[in-house]
Structure 1
């Protein structure tokens, strides 16, 4: 009898402890990660949009469920009301975005998100800042579609137009405006829910390369605004190690396969679908240790071009590395963007224009040494003497 009483007391204490733990943990919060905003709905069907929540908005999660179309949905409360939204549009961590001013003079920091608002300061070219907020209204200035960014400069919070900036989710990545960033990035993912996230996408194309499943997919049931900020994504899946990679740019496409060497692909990444149009190309090496490497910038909508012809690739089997091949490429690379000519009837925010390019010559050697990928860069030298005989 006594042992039975002890058991009852023990169970009671465990239940109380669990309840206390739940209370101490508090409510679960998420943040809108979609740029510039996400649509939220009045039902799990996600048919009728009732509200637009700007990027970084904080909400309280009630539950995560799957609707009849196999889309993962969160039910949440915001300002005392309950809504539904796509789980993939929210993140558990507060999202970050960084911008770099890219003009040929000082950019005006305005009091409000309006080109007629009071000018608080003038920001120098090259200034890098964390984006504090984004006004979700799409506007057109200097024939560029974009949004107003709230940033901080000299202790003042104000607004600048996104079309005069270069943006990245990583502050480090903005260094390419000074020099091309060519360090290989090893591909791996700790996102165990990538497979679940793929359920929210319509698969458009699948390819199998060297044991890796490459999936090009577009999000289901996109609104017009969502189509502007998210295009086709690339998922890379390894059956032994689960999902390794999901592209983060606006839209990704595969340009070339087994190029510039075996088990490598060239991918084109569009940076934005509705503002500051630009793109970059990367090599993804699908070997035992998959790696991604930025190769050069490409911008078909601008008047400058970052690459002059595909025929400049050459190959060599070196004596030093008998089982490896080198890929030689000669390119001319503008350091920054050149904006197309504007006419006087365009809506201008100021006298600033996008920085014109400074043409320089660069010569790259991509080498596959065993299981790694390395890069040598020769800046402003043309083709080095030791490689001239290859051309």
Structure 2
């Protein structure tokens, strides 16, 4: 018997770090240098101008975008975003299996000069801020072999990085002589095999309903191509070796541990003019649903859409970072001042999807992992292996309480390799969770492997059965 899980339900770990007191060395990245002021105001006296390429220390990062910095023993304040951890004249490596576009200007709409391959060594000549709403350094002007141009900094690394895959199809994966189903099969790579990705095809294909690419790899001295839709990929080989992505029980025990805060996000509405934006207001917050218009088939794009919450009183914005795309599904359901969304954590890779429920409070926004529709337990096979929880939600709309009765299925690999959805042979664990919101705080109570506790029998029976979706089969 084998129990397997691919992360259809991914718990996003939000790391919120304070930079106060942290002495981080960065470099002035624009030719005109960096002006340093006596106070955090543009009308304040200018103390000095730090020359291009010079290192400075960040002593404090403030929420109003001013930074307290130190240079040659003198402290002051800077409002400019022209600071980078990347030192001009430094050598970096392309970190993208899809290759990296080199442009004649710091814009992806300018002329594409070349597409350079993964692990190519480049010399950074200077940094260009570009026009991007993240307010982070975005473009680097680089020099390679017989080539100069602009590339996106997001896809450069200090050391050449290796990507790995792990086979997750129970039937294994064919290693072919060339990318494509028509090419000869060299051998079959077994499930759980971990290998190195040497190259990645540029064209996306759909095989058995799964989108993916072709990876070139080596197995026992034989070099060939495998379809990525039947793999999990990671830069961290140990992550694949430990099989963290299939640990059902550990993940299920942690599910609904707590509500998480949405972290602060650098945001300027003036940068939205080139994008499609829907805006809403709830309580003290403006909600921006931003679509950047990037082609979904472009694997070099780090994000496609985003939801931003901006406090109208403080001007501070909040957004979950590290997601490729987030879709706003609806507002005020199940309760007023809530937002329900779906997300994709990555593009051009194995599924890493889920749903979030945001709670808008007076001065902050919190969220939980939450699926609106009820579902029946299911074991998923085929291109990747996974599970669907059995879920039943009920609601008390007066007290703003959600009751969740969740069950983890027991899955056994079917004898028929063509089956892709199989009912479980049983239920392994049960989780009963109560989420209560009083407009200011969210409290979560959990009962693991205890069914519905007797003290909640009456509340469960009187709660409204899920009006938002019938069980998905």
Tell me if both proteins adopt one fold, taking TM over 0.5 as the criterion. Answer: yes
Q: Give, in angstroms, the shift of residue 86 of structure 1.
A: 4.8
Q: Does 2:381 correspond to 1:315?
A: no
Contact 1:32 1:54 in 2 (8 A): yes
Paired with 1:268 and 1:52, the residues of 2 have a C-alpha distance of: 33
Q: Give, in angstroms, the shift of residue 308 of structure 1.
A: 8.0
Residues 68 and 134 of structure 1, relative CA distance in 2, 3 Å threshold: closer
Residues 369 and 334 of structure 1, relative CA distance in 2, 3 Å threshold: farther
Contact 2:94 2:100 in 1 (8 A): yes
Q: By percentage of residues, which structure has more helix?
A: 1
2:32 maps to: none
1:258 maps to: 332
Q: Does 2:342 correspond to 1:268?
A: yes
* 3-state secondary structure, aligned to 1:386: helix
1:364 maps to: 433
* 3-state secondary structure, aligned to 1:388: helix
Q: Does 2:287 correspond to 1:206?
A: no
Q: Aligned match of 1:42 in 81, 95, 104?
A: 104
Paired with 1:197 and 1:135, the residues of 2 have a C-alpha distance of: 38
Residues 274 and 20 of structure 1, relative CA distance in 2, 3 Å threshold: closer
Contact 2:164 2:233 in 1 (8 A): yes
Q: How does 1:123-272 map to 2 (within 5 A)?
A: 123-124=191-192, 134-148=200-214, 161-166=227-232, 174=245, 177-178=248-249, 179-180=251-252, 181-183=255-257, 184-189=259-264, 192=266, 195=268, 199=272, 202-220=275-293, 222=295, 225=298, 231-238=304-311, 240=314, 242-270=316-344
Stretches of structure 1 lacking an aligned partner (at least 5 in a row): 1-16, 318-323, 343-350
Q: Does 2:149 correspond to 1:83?
A: yes
Q: With structure 1 as the length reference, what TM-score do the two structures score?
A: 0.63
Give the root-mean-square deviation of aligned CA atoms.
5.5
Paired with 1:132 and 1:74, the residues of 2 have a C-alpha distance of: 25
Contact 1:279 1:299 in 2 (8 A): no
Q: Does 2:136 correspond to 1:63?
A: no
Stretches of structure 2 lacking an aligned partner (at least 5 in a row): 1-50, 57-85, 381-386, 462-473
Q: Give, in angstroms, the shift of residue 216 of structure 1.
A: 1.8
Residues 224 and 307 of structure 1, relative CA distance in 2, 3 Å threshold: same
Residues 308 and 266 of structure 1, relative CA distance in 2, 3 Å threshold: farther
Residues 153 and 380 of structure 1, relative CA distance in 2, 3 Å threshold: farther
Q: Aligned match of 1:279 in 353, 362, 366?
A: 353
Q: Give, in angstroms, the shift of residue 64 of structure 1.
A: 0.6
Residues 295 and 55 of structure 1, relative CA distance in 2, 3 Å threshold: farther
* 3-state secondary structure, aligned to 1:225: coil
Contact 1:106 1:352 in 2 (8 A): no
User: How many pairs does the alignment contain?
Assistant: 351
* 3-state secondary structure, aligned to 1:103: coil
Q: Does 2:190 correspond to 1:122?
A: yes
Paired with 2:441 and 2:217, the residues of 1 have a C-alpha distance of: 40
Q: Give, in angstroms, the shift of residue 266 of structure 1.
A: 1.7
